[in-house]
Amino acid sequence: MKEAVERIARLWPSSGKVLVLTGAGISVPSGIPDFRSPGGLWSRYDPMRVATAEALANSPAEAWRFILDARDVMAAARPNAAHEALAELERAGLIEGIVTQNIDGLHQRAGSLNVVEFHGTMSGWRCNGCQAPKDATRAMEVTPETAPWLCERCGAVVRPDVVFFGEPIPLDALDKSGQLASGAELALIVGTSCEVAPANVLPQLVRQQGGRLAEINLAASRLAPLCDAAVAAGAEEALPLLARLLLDQ
């Protein structure tokens, strides 16, 4: 693994114009299972069926079973060494920003500042009807007995600020991630299979503009054939090593 990490370190631009694209794999060591993996915590139902705009509108009780589980898993999770290494690299001016497909807020909790949350966040809440923002503390008080939480103003179901399956990516996230990609000299893919558009377009955009591509993934992503360097290891092992190589030289 060390040699492959060294190859990534050699690709690193001194300008620090680096976009990091992260996915579920970086948060698995923090105790958040990948939604797309079978079994485990999400086995009681299929998130791709209940975490949808239709389920929220038509079967809010079912959607809220998933929302409560997701809420509790995120609340119990802590940033791991991979999140911390990325925050350290940003502080040192070696990363421009992170685009994450995760909704767990762990990058910010580790200290990263420029984070684009492509699929929203479980730490914000709003009414699905009148769109009024809702209190995150109150969201923690909802129980299976009192769910679903209904808007005190209009009676519609309350929801986390996440992009449910079938909903569009927020325009400002598209905008900010596009800006990051257009200035990047290197895109680093971490913990994502790059199966899902439009997030997987960003590294390709960087490459089309003459930038380099690297990945840290347990299993090679769909974009691995385009990568200039690839590390087949967990992010929580490879990223701290990469940070040491870049910061101690």
State yes or no: residue 129 binds Zn ion (CB under 5 A): yes
Q: Is 227 annotated as a binding residue?
A: no
Amino acid type, 33: P
State yes or no: residue 57 binds Zn ion (CB under 5 A): no
**Residue 68 buriedness (CB in 10 A; 0-12 / 13-18 / 19+):** middle
Q: Closer CB to Zn ion, residue 156 or residue 184?
A: 156
CB of 205 to Zn ion, least distance (A): 37
C-beta separation of 21 from 211 below 8 A: no
Question: Residue 119 catalytic?
Answer: yes
C-beta separation of 43 from 122 below 8 A: no
Residue burial 112-148, b: 16+ Cβ < 10 Å; e: rest = beebbbbbbbbbbbebbbeeeebeeeebeebeeeebb
Q: Is 194 annotated as a binding residue?
A: no
Binding segment for Zn ion (CB under 5 A), chosen from 83-91, 135-143, 156-164, 171-179, is 156-164
Which of 75, 153, 208, 209 contacts Zn ion by CB under 5 A?
153
Q: Closer CB to Zn ion, residue 28 or residue 156?
A: 156
- Provide the terminal-to-terminal Cα distance of the chain, rounded to the nearest Å: 19
Out of 71, 107, 119, 176, the active site residue is 119
State yes or no: residue 154 binds Zn ion (CB under 5 A): yes
C-beta separation of 18 from 95 below 8 A: yes
β-pairing, 212-216 vs 186-190, is: parallel
Q: Is 130 annotated as a binding residue?
A: yes
CB of 223 to Zn ion, least distance (A): 41
Kindly determine how many residues on this chain lie close enough to bind Zn ion according to the rule CB under 5 A: 7
State yes or no: residue 151 binds Zn ion (CB under 5 A): yes
CB of 158 to Zn ion, least distance (A): 8
The residues of the shown chain that bind Zn ion, judged by CB under 5 A, are 127, 129-130, 151, 153-154, 156
Annotated binding-site members for Zn(2+): 127, 130, 151, 154
Active-site residues, by number, are 119
